[in-house]
Structure 1
């Protein structure tokens, strides 16, 4: 704060010295002297004519004296300021000139300071009253504050409770739905369990029946096989295959000679009859052995024939087993198909063919093997 003392200096008066005292006055306390200065006006140093020139060059707390011819201060302060020449004041620049207070203004300032102190005292009393009021009504206000907070907390908890209740209700509905589904599944499981138990009992009954049926089927198959062997033995007696008395390499069937696929020097009708017997005997053996031959045979005595299902032309799939009035190649191919059927019968019984052209020897070997197996089974 800059403090200026305002005094009028004139050369006419005899006032050359002045004592300046600055006091600090506080409410309810004794005034305290801050500064006492014995001023000798003869030692004052001139500064300038206008205060606007050098007002910003003084440090805080500088005392200036305003006279008619200008402003004065202490020599040491004037030496630091250096305001020998006054610069020209710029136009349109507002300047503020601060002068020292006179006695009347100082007394007015002191009254304002005292009024400010009184206001501060009133404010302090008001603050003290408010604090006493707060101290007195503090518990009630704290309770009111706590009540507001608890009401807010209660509203929040009620909202959460409502949300939880909605969630619990939804979960209860879902639980009821799941319970219904579980009950339905439990009923279905019980139903299927009862069905399973019934099926287990039925399975046990059927297993027993199946065991009995298998045993019966086994005995029946054995009887059938035994009967088939007997029938084959009977067929062996019906169609006896013997070795010719004159030529050992030729066999006869029902006393009818049948060479081994070489019929050049034989009578066609005799050969046709022997092939018919052979065709019928092979058919009966296939029937009793339950072997489906690849090439079906039709036995018609001396006019028998064989069918080739793999023939390209269905109209040419029949091959005769007689040579009269037939193509020799087709006749020989028919005999070949008959021999293939006999080979298939041998393979079905686990026998191998040495020469497929030996029609009657192969057939007799098959019958002898079946008879031997029958004899071993009867034992």
Structure 2
């Protein structure tokens, strides 16, 4: 490695203080204290083989050719040979000892003697080499498991502590970096330490680790470091292009990274890190700080230290004052707390008073409400008692009223049958010969809704007018209102739609305009076609509603207007017994002979009216008596 002049450290060795230390890193963590060491220039596996001993004959051969042989395996065989063959290890040690003695004697003997009397080489059994290709046929899963096991065995939780002479406790304890081999710790904060610590140039570093299989923390390294004797590595670790030794401790300063002096890092120290101080005397001297600047800096440092001491003294004085007046301050705090408590109690009191007043008002309102309810319940009980008495008194008459009601219902049903029969006579609906489901009303053929154009429009509109009149009369006598009221006017009849939601383009919002828009014609001349067809649809809907609501019958096809109306009249006239006759004598003027009537005479009109409203003795009849007479009850009946 080569470093330029700009990459040299800024700080001189005697300027290295704890305040310049930024952080600490550890590289290549190893938990094994007994590390295999080897000398440079030999492979790690061939060093341990018995057949590679330095015998006298081999030393002669090695002098002639200083080469390094290729490694014959991929692992260290030192431990394997020691465990596999104890006798071989003893022979190995004895051979090494003999080789060293023979080498010494070889130097003392003359050359001729060394050549004529060769030393006998030790007879050693050849150690069986173990196979190191066990991963060649392993599956990827097995290789991954072995790799994870090796990695997990070398990882550990790490933290360090810094100690200074004269202080029992550590001045700094780092955070714990979990499961790592190359931990880089956070920056060190020296703001809480005094000048006695930050100006120190010596420290003790203790490194603590906890392996994956260990339960307790172990101290891995305890290193006394003198900051002035550190070796410079570069601006950062990126400048180191070789792998660092195991358990390498890296110290980060403001001008770069340093490490402790040791043989293990001698190959990684840049050649330019050792400054040639001897040559500096021959070179031109460089400018430095003047005496006045250093004096001002010293005075400024003294002023800062005096200010810090004054601050500490003021803090101690304030602490003493507070400690002396602790009782008074405590009483003042207690008074303030008592005042706050009184304010809280007063606020709670006012709140409770408001709640109490509100509760009283609610109680009074409820009391008045209860009194009102009691009076209503008393009056209701009296009314119920009176009604109960009336019910008890009317119980004997209940069977008679039930019979009378049944008779009235039977009479009403019979009269409805008679009226519907009369409607059939007024508007006879007859089938058209030769056509299926084709009917005519008053000899006017009305086709189904989808074939209205097969007949003249005058015939169709007249037939629809007859149907509208029939529906209006049936709805009146059956006491069933039509959802779409009809206005029978012969061939110009209309039907009204009160429920549909209309969308009109006109801006008028008057009721008359809306009623006109909801009125649909039952004739096709002079009106839009869709309004005429919709009016016929509403007429058919009226027939369907009368059948379903009055008689509970379903309509298969509402487009068949006359068949459905014929079916409605047929069901309405169906019943037991003969049809009752029309009551005669309800209006006496209708039964008198008309021979004495004078057409256009005012006296005849008055005499006819007198026959309608006078009794036999000449007294006027009441409306109630007249209604009872029509219904068949006598004047004295209820």
Shorter-chain TM-score tier = 0.3 to 0.5
Instruction: Write 1 or 2 for the structure with the bigger share of helix.
Output: 1
Bigger RCO (CA 8 Å, 6+ sep): 2
Q: Give the TM-score taking structure 2 as reference length.
A: 0.28
Q: Give the TM-score taking structure 1 as reference length.
A: 0.45
Greater radius of gyration (CA): 1
